[in-house]
Amino acid sequence: MNGGVSNSKLPLLLKPFLLSFFLSLSILLLFLAASRSLSPTPIPSLPTSAATVRYLDSSSATAAAAGGGLRIRKGLHSYDAYIQLQLNKTLNPKLRKLWKTRDWDRKVRVFAAFFRSLTRRGLLSNSSRALSIGARVGQEVEALRRVGVNDSIGMDLVPSPPLVVRGDFHAQPFPNASFDFEFSNVFDHALYPEKFVGEIERTLRPGGVCVLHVSISKRADKYSANDLYSVGPLVALFRESEVVGVRRVDGFGLDTEVVFRKKMIHKNKKKINPKGTD
């Protein structure tokens, strides 16, 4: 035998080293795992939830609107220019043919599913008098009638009888408190959002429901007049209504459904002292 260490003894000498190495590695991995669990997880930006927007008062809602969450697009120099832009889309013969043929059944089915959901939630009933704002050729109206809401009508710049009458959503052609239910997916087309909402609240009966489908996560098409970046500014515009709910939807490019209920009018009754004394 020579004076060196025999090969048979090498594994025995390596055991303490290997044991120390694996123990250190385990401690390091535990430390990294603990550090990761303690670090904050990024939260994606989402639309304001129903629980949040329900408690917005008028001052905070106005501040939210002023914070840049709702922006009117530039480039429209007059109301006539704005109307012409909208008519360029509504009167487009290719689009109108598409809306009345290939798109018709698909959109009626999707809208009917939305309205059935609202019925199950007690927000719409067969006895409701309903208005669809910006109804184009009337798919929403047809869907309302198919789910049993027979007293339904649509409104658009270009009429499409018998489902849609002529009207500008900035100045609805209906008397006060005409409807129990109003639906729209064209909020982004409003040049004056406050007038758009004001007309809804004017023509909606106390206790009536308004449902809006809007786009929060992406910008709308070239015919849009405004861009909405959060739910807060929309809530700020509804002075006479409360938020019932906010949820994600997949509505032909629109991703958020916001439901409002117009507040009931409570008249203060003057108490009469039976003794006739103060």
User: What's the pLDDT tens digit per position in 38-75?
Assistant: 332 222 222 333 222 332 333 333 344 444 599 998 88
Task: Write down how long the chain is.
Answer: 278
Average pLDDT of the chain is 79
Angle (nearest 5°) at CA 210 between 209 and 214: 150
Q: Give 154's strand partners.
A: 132, 164
pLDDT in the model for residue 114:
95
Taking alpha carbons only, the member of 269, 243, 271 closest to residue 258 is 243
Phi first, then psi: give them for residue 201, nearest 5 degrees.
-70, -30
Cβ atoms of residues 115 and 143 within 8 Å: yes
Are 239 and 210 a contacting pair, CB within 8 Å? no
Quick one: tokens of 114?
């939305």
Give Cα separations from 256 to 14, 115, 214, 237 (angstroms). 64, 15, 5, 17
Q: Is 30 helix (H, G, I), strand (E, B) or coil?
A: helix
Which carries the bigger pLDDT value, residue 147 or residue 77? 147
Cis peptide before 162 (omega within 30 of 0): yes
**pTM exceeds 0.75:** no
Specify the range with the lowest mean pLDDT, choosing from 110-124, 134-148, 210-224: 210-224
Determine which helix (DSSP H) or strand (DSSP E) holds 165, and give its type and residue range.
strand 164-166
**CA 153/CA 135 separation, integer angstroms:** 9
- Please state which of the ranges 72-76, 121-125, 195-199, 201-205 shows the lowest mean pLDDT: 72-76
Higher pLDDT, 56 or 106: 106
